[in-house]
């Protein structure tokens, strides 16, 4: 069985914009991070960061929007990059003051937020191994 390490692989998850499924995003994030041999603290960080990003999308999505949002887990040798996106315009101006975003910033190594309103909202975050996996 190949371990999830050297290959640049990606896993995509599409979830309804329904709060009931944020736990599914956490579970998936936790499983992937575990396969990548992040340590327990790092796995908790990734899980919480992914959950907060999903929560931000669901909380701020305009009413009447019946859509799914997409989570892409980009697996690299030394890092996991998670992109959460939705085909909708979200209040980007509120992003930097949102407590969930403050939490994400503290939990991951890199956080890229959209610069201005657009038709597609995207949050991208990267968590690097403290130590390269499988050294």
Partner 1 sequence: MDFIMEHQFDQTKNGWLIDISGEVDIFNSEKMKSRFLDIIESKKADLYVSCRNLEYIDSTALGALVTVLKHVKAYGGEIYLKSIKPSIAKLFKITNLNQVFIIEGDANE
Contacts to partner 1 by CB under 8 A:
19-20, 22-23, 26, 41, 44, 47-48, 51-52, 55, 58-59, 98-100, 102-103, 106-107
Least separation in angstroms between CB 40 and partner 1: 8
Least separation in angstroms between CB 67 and partner 1: 17
Phi, psi of 77, deg, nearest 5: -60, -45
Q: Bridge-partner residues for 65, per DSSP?
A: none
Q: Which residues lie below 8 Å from residue 130, measured CB to CB, with a gap of 6+?
A: 39, 42
Instruction: For partner 1, give the closer residue by CB, 47 or 127.
Output: 47
Instruction: For partner 1, give the closer residue by CB, 76 or 121.
Output: 121
As a whole number of angstroms, the distance between CA 135 and CA 132 comes to 6
Instruction: For partner 1, give the closer residue by CB, 52 or 124.
Output: 52
Least separation in angstroms between CB 121 and partner 1: 17
Least separation in angstroms between CB 47 and partner 1: 7
Q: Are strands 110-112 and 121-128 parallel, antiparallel or unpaired?
A: antiparallel
Alpha-carbon torsion (118, 122, 123, 129), positive or negative: negative
Instruction: For partner 1, give the closer residue by CB, 36 or 104.
Output: 104
For residues 111 and 130, is the Cβ–Cβ distance under 8 A? no
């Amino acid at each position: 069985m190949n371990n999830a390490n050297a290959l640049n692989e990606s896993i995509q998850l599409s979830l309804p914009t329904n709060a009931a499924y944020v736990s599914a995003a956490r579970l998936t994030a936790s499983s992937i991070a575990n396969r990548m041999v992040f340590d327990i603290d790092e796995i908790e960080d990734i899980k919480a960061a992914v959950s907060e990003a999903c929560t931000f999308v669901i909380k701020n999505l305009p009413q009447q929007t019946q859509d799914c949002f997409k989570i892409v887990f980009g697996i690299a040798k030394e890092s996991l990059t998670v992109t959460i996106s939705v085909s909708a315009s979200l209040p980007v101006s509120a992003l930097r003051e949102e407590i969930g975003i403050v939490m994400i910033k503290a939990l991951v190594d890199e956080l890229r937020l959209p610069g201005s309103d657009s038709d597609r909202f995207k949050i991208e975050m990267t968590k690097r191994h403290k130590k390269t996996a499988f050294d």
